[in-house]
Amino acid sequence: MDNTTQPTTRGMTGLIEDWVSDKDAFKNVSWGKTMMWIFLLSDTFIFSCFLVGYMSVRMTTDVPWPNASEVFALTIAGEHIPLILIAIMTFVLITSSGTMAMAVNCGYRRQRKQAAVLMLVTAVFGVCFVGMQAFEWTKLIEEGVRPWGNPMGAPQFGAAFFMITGFHGFHVSIGVIYLTVVALKVLRGDYEERGYEIVEITGLYWHFVDLVWVFIFAFFYLW
Amino acid sequence: MQNNTDTQPQQHPISLYFKVWGLLFVLSSFSYLVDYMQYQGLLRWTLILVFMFLKAGLIVAVFMHMVWERIAFTLAILSPPLCILVLIALMASEASYTNLNRLIFFG
């Protein structure tokens, strides 16, 4: 994207001028970043469809829905704590978002070693998250939860659970691979000439995964 | 593509990220406490939604740098998801109708 003239007007006038300028409407945004945002927008719709579908089946059923607070409780050192595993997973994901934000910052400061290390730390947190999710799935499968039924209540619980958390876990796994690849390229110095916007673009994807979890946590685990 | 010499790389004080990071931790703890304290009914829903939107807003605005983008870009990305509200409304009314029928005929 060639932005030889920098836009100066801001606010509503800026909005109108950007759209009527008869060329690229998104000033100061590279194609890489624009396309990542558009991809995330489409992903937003996919996750929304899953969550709305979950809402529909949960509202239509006249069988009581399993109590998430109890289903996801763990007994740690003799203490029965509701929803604790999900809380830990939430904190792990937020921590990884923080390290990712730091990596983006280091990238723009052209500290490529720190940026790469922080990205790898983020990936490790991602692996932790997926590991805990695998543990959670194993626990539920052992308790007899299946996509078509479960011993705790409404049979749709399993379908919604495996579909939504599975698709999210898949996103985290892809994110771990993506982060690792970009981190290694950053470490090798591949972006010394082009600049480190790639770290921000990778970060957008990672933060989005965290963002989706915020909604899953609220609607699936807290409802 | 942008050239690094003629644009200002986005330099935000690192303290801002730490503040937002801390805030996200606090908000997540609050969300968890809503369940732990077993709040029910309208209070539960209000708290869950408030904490959810605050967290989502902070992530999009600061971590994903949306506050520093131009309005043309922000609107192009953030307004389409509003369509989902229509889908939610449609599905919710349909689902309550189905539920009502199930209660009448199978309940």
**DSSP bridge pairs for A146:** A149
Using one digit for the tens of pLDDT, what is the confidence trace for B44-90? 999 999 999 999 999 999 999 999 999 999 999 999 999 999 999 99
Residue B13: closest C-alpha in chain A:
A105
pLDDT at B5 over 70: no
Residue A51: closest C-alpha in chain B:
B88
pLDDT tier, A14 (very low <50, low <70, confident <90, very high otherwise): confident
Using one digit for the tens of pLDDT, what is the confidence trace for A180-219? 999 999 999 999 998 999 999 999 999 999 999 999 999 9
For residue A97, give the nearest of B14, B18, B63 by CB distance.
Answer: B63
pLDDT at B1 over 50: no
Q: Residue B36 has what pLDDT?
A: 87
Residue A193 half-sphere exposure, CB side, CA atoms within 13 Å?
A: 1
Could you tell me what percent of chain A has a pLDDT over 70? 98
Q: Report which of B39, B77, B96, B25 is spatially closest to residue A210, judged by C-alpha positions.
A: B25
The Cα–Cα gap between A119 and A181 comes to 10
Q: Which of A74-78, A175-179, B9-13, B58-62 has the lowest mean pLDDT?
A: B9-13
CB atoms closer than 10 angstroms to residue B90: 12
pLDDT at A24 over 90: no
Of residues A55 and A19, the one with the higher pLDDT is: A55
Task: Tell me the domains of chain A and their CATH numbers.
Answer: 66-222 (1.20.120.80)
Distance to chain A for B26, nearest Cα, Å: 10
Q: Residue A81 has what pLDDT?
A: 85
Phi/psi of residue B77, nearest 5 degrees: -90, -40
Q: Residue A56 has what pLDDT?
A: 95
Q: Residue B9 has what pLDDT?
A: 52
- Inter-residue contact B47 to B34 (CB < 8 Å): yes
Q: Report which of B8, B3, B2, B13 is spatially closest to residue B62, judged by C-alpha positions.
A: B13
pLDDT at B3 over 70: no
Using one digit for the tens of pLDDT, what is the confidence trace for A121-166? 999 999 999 999 999 999 999 999 999 989 998 999 999 999 999 9
B43 touches chain A (CB under 8 A): no
- What ipTM does this complex have? 0.89
B82 touches chain A (CB under 8 A): no
Average pLDDT in the A30-40 region? Answer: 94
Q: Residue A4 has what pLDDT?
A: 53
pLDDT at A23 over 80: no
Residue B3: closest C-alpha in chain A:
A194
Q: Residue A117 has what pLDDT?
A: 97
The Cα–Cα gap between B61 and B82 comes to 17
pLDDT at B43 over 60: yes
pLDDT tier, A6 (very low <50, low <70, confident <90, very high otherwise): confident
Residue A205: closest C-alpha in chain B:
B64
Q: Residue B10 has what pLDDT?
A: 58
What value, to the nearest 5°, has the Cα angle with vertex A127 and ends A121 and A132? 130
A34 touches chain B (CB under 8 A): yes
- Inter-residue contact A73 to A154 (CB < 8 Å): no
The Cα–Cα gap between A170 and A148 comes to 21
Those residues whose C-beta lies under 8 Å from the C-beta of residue B32, and which sit 6 or more positions away, are A83, A87, A90
Q: Residue B2 has what pLDDT?
A: 42
Q: Report which of A130, A126, A133 is spatially closest to residue A202, judged by C-alpha positions.
A: A126
CA B6: distance to chain centroid? 34
pLDDT at B4 over 60: no
Two tokens at A106?
């280091």
B13 touches chain A (CB under 8 A): no
CB atoms closer than 10 angstroms to residue A11: 9
A136 touches chain B (CB under 8 A): no
Mutate to test the interface with B, among A217, A220, A221 (most CBs of B within 10 A): A217
Average pLDDT in the A54-65 region? Answer: 93
Q: Report which of A215, A207, A194 is spatially closest to residue A94, judged by C-alpha positions.
A: A207
Q: Please name the amino acid found at residue B5.
A: T
Q: Residue B6 has what pLDDT?
A: 38
Length of chain B (residues) = 107
Average pLDDT in the B15-34 region? Answer: 92
Burial of B83 (0-12, 13-18, 19+ CB in 10 A): exposed
Average pLDDT in the B29-49 region? Answer: 90
